[in-house]
Structure 1
Amino acid sequence: MAIDSEVLVVGGGLAGLTSALAAARAGADTRLVSYKQSTLRHASGLVDVLGYAPDGEG
């Protein structure tokens, strides 16, 4: 079975969902392929934008 689309996003994580949403909003025919159901609905919603200390403290 062949399915043609303009954008193929592989992965249902935060980056994949965000990329697929951005492409779809831009008008592209978008397909999102994921190994299993995303677990983001169980996530806390926390995104660490500052990173972490290399030594693991702080």
Structure 2
Amino acid sequence: MGYIIVVSAPVILFILIVALAFYLLGRATGRRQSSTAPQYFGPQVPPPQEKAAAV
């Protein structure tokens, strides 16, 4: 039973460290991409027209 605990503890720590590294790398990549590419939610809104031109 002690052998399982001795082997599994470093494996669990290694998995946690790798998961944290992937999380941080993915967050950095996402932040870098979000600043370069604009978000498009739908078609562009036409510019507002003046009331004198509309009448």
TM-score by length of 2: 0.27
Larger radius of gyration between Structure 1 and Structure 2:
2
* Higher strand proportion: 1
TM-score by length of 1: 0.26
Using CA pairs under 8 Å that are at least 6 residues apart, name the structure with larger relative contact order, 1 or 2.
1
* Higher helix proportion: 2
